[in-house]
Amino acid sequence: MHVRLVIADCQVDYAGRLSAHLPMAKRLIIVKADGSVSVHADDRAYKPLNWMSAPCRLTITEPDADSAELGVTQLWEVRSREGDTLQIRLGEVHLDSDHTFGVDPGLQKDGVEAHLQTLLAEHPSTFGDGWQLVKREYYTPIGPVDLLLRDHNGGHVAVEVKRRGEIDGVEQLTRYLDLMNRDPQLAPVQGVFAAQQIKPQAATLAADRGISCRVIDYDLLRGMDNADERLF
């Protein structure tokens, strides 16, 4: 996993279904191994001011004479598969460094979330009659999706399980789906975002991405778990 960190004076313009403009100011730019680019201020916790999610393509060029006279040193264009663009004009660069992280083990699920995943794997019919488990922790190049199922029509479904469903989880499942749908032996792969509770913003984003949401009643599902029938 390779990450590039840039601290620079920059102007940012986003063009797509909406448009947004950030005037020139000092900011942190993060370019991640999956191709995503995000622009951060020194507040707002983890949330970026603007970003482009993977898959996308970053092109860096030299400024023309007019831009150079205004102090622009680099022109970055980040283009999504849908044609949206994030244009970043860099002025003075204060830091530009690359870092290799290695393979990340991923977020360790808490007890409830891990048990929820186990129960859903044992009872795939929770999602629909005739649904079957293909594999738990199905590995992709960027990490494992919690469950790979087949629906009643035999189509593949990737399920991401959370205790509390937020936007980050939808983004995570979106990246998994993009990679899985490039595999002709799996495609087409649908997505289900499953959680005990799902925030409205996450549900809205999931609907926009074509991902189904499923609110899971943990207590009801736990009642189906007969510990006496387990070998261990």
Give the pLDDT confidence of 95-133 residue by residue, as tens digits: 999 988 776 655 555 557 888 888 999 999 999 999 999
Q: Is the pLDDT of residue 231 over 50?
A: no
Residue type, 2: H
Task: Describe the strand order of the beta sheet including 189-198 as a list of residue ranges.
Answer: 132-140, 143-150, 156-165, 189-198, 212-215
Name the phi and psi angles at 83, rounded to 5: 100, 0
Q: CA 215, CA 119: separation in Å to the nearest integer? A: 14
Instruction: Give the up-direction half-sphere exposure of residue 49: CA atoms within 13 A in the CB hemisphere.
Output: 23
What pairing do the DSSP bridges indicate for beta strands 2-15 and 19-31? antiparallel
Q: CA 83, CA 65: separation in Å to the nearest integer? A: 27
Name the phi and psi angles at 127, rounded to 5: -90, -15
Query: By mean pLDDT, which of 48-52, 100-104, 193-197, 227-231 is the weakest?
Result: 227-231
Domains in the chain (CATH in brackets) are: 3-99 (2.70.180.20), 113-231 (3.40.1350.10)
pLDDT recorded at residue 44: 74
Q: CA 197, CA 184: separation in Å to the nearest integer? A: 33
pTM as predicted? 0.53
Confidence tier at 225 by pLDDT (50, 70, 90): low
Q: What is the mean pLDDT of the chain?
A: 88
Task: Describe the strand order of the beta sheet including 85-100 as a list of residue ranges.
Answer: 50-52, 37-40, 19-31, 2-15, 85-100, 74-80, 56-61
Name the phi and psi angles at 53, rounded to 5: -80, 155
Confidence tier at 171 by pLDDT (50, 70, 90): very high
Query: By mean pLDDT, which of 94-98, 150-154, 222-226 is the weakest?
Result: 222-226
